Each structure stands twice: as structure tokens, then as C-alpha cells.
Amino acid sequence: MIRKTLMTIRTSVKLMSLLIFAIIIIISLFAIFYKPTYSVSINGQFIGYTKDKSSLQKRINDYMEKGDESNQNIAFTEVQIMPEYQLCLLKKGIVTNDDEIYTAVIQDSTIYYRYYAILVDNEEKVYVGNFSEAEQIVDKLKEKNTNNIDKISIKEKYNTGMDQFASIDDAVTQLYEEKPVVVATTTKKNTNSTYSVGRKATSMSYQNMPINISFIRPISGKITSRFGSISRVRTSAHKGLDIGAPTGTKIAAAASGTVTCSSYQGSLGNLIVISHGNGIETYYGHCSKLYAKVGQYVNQGEIIAAVGSTGNSTGPHLHLEIKVNGVSYNPQNYVY
């Protein structure tokens, strides 16, 4: 009985060994004559084969993100239909055609360009290819003390075509507005002065600036979006100044005052509002943490919150607003 059992086991082992050997032979034959690859189709239509699906798709993704790197103004590229992959076995003699597949995928793509418009009173006046040039133009206008500097803003644009770009010098010449010659006459009976501007006379207060307190910088960082700018992430012109900084960076009070808000507020995320008296307020938006409490009096420079990316935000930064009686003013006129 034991001998029969041993013989049965030996027979089973031999059969199993033969089966494994046969499987190895079959796999070896497939490896000799066939290779695993991917059939590629677009919208159900076959366009070729690729042996490296990941490499081909990465090449397509890079094109969508960067476009043709020879043109620095390309922001991104929209591919209409992405390829579909199906694993299959092909004879080794069949050649893959990654380049032809790549060309077929991108040939109907839409290219979006990034450039910058310089606006005067929210009207686009000139266009430049990059933000650095736009900043140089604004800086030169400040140096020339142009009369319309408070109305000038920079807008980032995305379009399938580009407007004609102006040189820095031509843009400055076109945007510069000379200050009017002002002759002032005063009387002792009135705290206001009468100004003659050309043939037109008007009256204005000596204190024509609505903000008469001194601010400090809440954080140090790079300005990523300026007052009045318009972008795809907003429904209206930017009412503040965005300063990029790492999450957790400590935010200081720009001036002394009383905290009137310390909570989550919609698109501004975690928000601190400080009242400085005479209707003057500062707003600190998108915070990751709020340290100051409502009703607390904070001194200038005191830590009130930490930088974050809460609310309607594409990355960690501080959104700083300065308001007087509910009206927003450009923070760059008073800080940074």
C-alpha cells in the first residue's frame, strides 16, 4: 500500500515537472516570436503601436503643459482627444511608430499664449511678452512721475492668439501722462484751497490722501498679483495685493488696531480684519492659522496669523487689502 502511494506521488511529480517545462517552452517561444506592446487609437481609429505607453503619454503630457518650448509665451496646450491604449502581442518584426502617434495626437491641439496687458483705468492700452517687461514699464512711469500712476495696472492674459507687443520705451511714451500745471491760491477763511487747472477751476481738501497712518510690511515675499489685476481665478478686478510666501510664515499687523474679524470668510478663506480708526481697515486673507481674536487690540508688528492657501487660492500667499470706509486702495501706495 505504501509502495503504491509512493509510486503515485512520483508519477504526479513527474507530470507536474513536465507541465512546468511545457509552460516554460511555450513562454520562450512567445518571447522569441512575439513582444508585448500597445495598440493605440484615437476616437476609435487605429493609428499605430507603441512598446512604451508611459513614455509616449508623458511626451504628450509635457507638450500639453509646456507646448513648443521654442516659444516662451506658450502657457499651455489643449489636446482635443487623448489616445486610447490596448495591450496586445505582436510579432517582433512589426515596427512601433511613436513619432507618428505623437504627431497625430497633437495636430488638432489648441495653443494658449500667456502675455501681459498694461491697463489705464481698467482699459487695456499696451501689451508685452512677459511680466518683467510690464514691471519695468510701470517703474519707469513712476520715475517720470506720470499723472495717471494710480490708474495703471497689469493684467495677465491667456489667448489663442497674441496682440502686438510694444517695446518698453514705446509703452512708456504711450502711457505717460504729464501732470497739469497747478496754480494755488489760498484764503484764511477756508481750510480748502482753490486750484486752477488750465481754464477749469476746482476745489479740494489739503488732506487729499485718505490714509494718514504709517504701515509696515506684514510679511516679506514676492508680489504675485497686483491691485487691479484680472485673472481667470477672479470674477472682478483684484482688490488687494498678493505676496507669495511659504505656508506657516508669520503675518504681522501692518499697523496697530482692533481685530474685528477672525474667521473663515468664503473666497478669502481664513481672514483677519483690523480696524485702525477713521474708517481705515486692513485685511489679511487665505491664512492657514488665525492667532488674533475678535475684540483683541494688536500692536503694529504683532503676529496675528500664518500664511496659507485657504479659500479661493492657487498657492500659499498673503492677500493684503487696505480699505477706507469700505473703499479699496492700492496697498503699494502705502507699503511694499
pLDDT of res. 187: 38
pLDDT for the residue numbered 205: 30
* pLDDT of res. 204: 29
pTM: predicted TM-score of the whole model, two decimal places: 0.41
Cβ atoms within 10 A of the Cβ of 208, count?
6
**Per-residue confidence (pLDDT) for residue 203, from 0 to 100:** 30
Q: Exposed (0-12), middle (13-18) or buried (19+): which is 125, by Cβ within 10 Å?
A: middle
Q: In which region does residue 36 sit, left (phi positive, over 0), alpha (psi from -120 to 50) or beta (all else)? A: beta
**Residue ranges, the chain, pLDDT below 70:** 1-7, 9, 13, 21-22, 25-35, 67-72, 90-93, 181-210, 230-236
Residue 27 has a pLDDT of 59
Grid coordinates of 79 = 489636446
Please report, for the chain, the start and end positions of each structural domain, with discontinuous segments joined by +: 31-108, 113-175, 179-208, 222-333
- Residue identified by cell 492657501 is 309
Helix (H) or strand (E) holding 65: helix 53-66
Q: Using one digit for the tens of pLDDT, what is the confidence trace for 204-228?
A: 232 334 677 889 999 998 888 888 7
- DSSP-derived 3-state class of residue 43: coil
Residue with cell 494755488: 184
**Torsions phi, psi for 119 (to 5 deg):** -110, 150
Top CATH class of 222-333 equals: mainly beta
A 10 A CB-CB count for 276 gives: 20
CB atoms within 10 A of CB 230: 20
pLDDT at 105: 86
pLDDT in tens, 108-117: 788 878 888 8
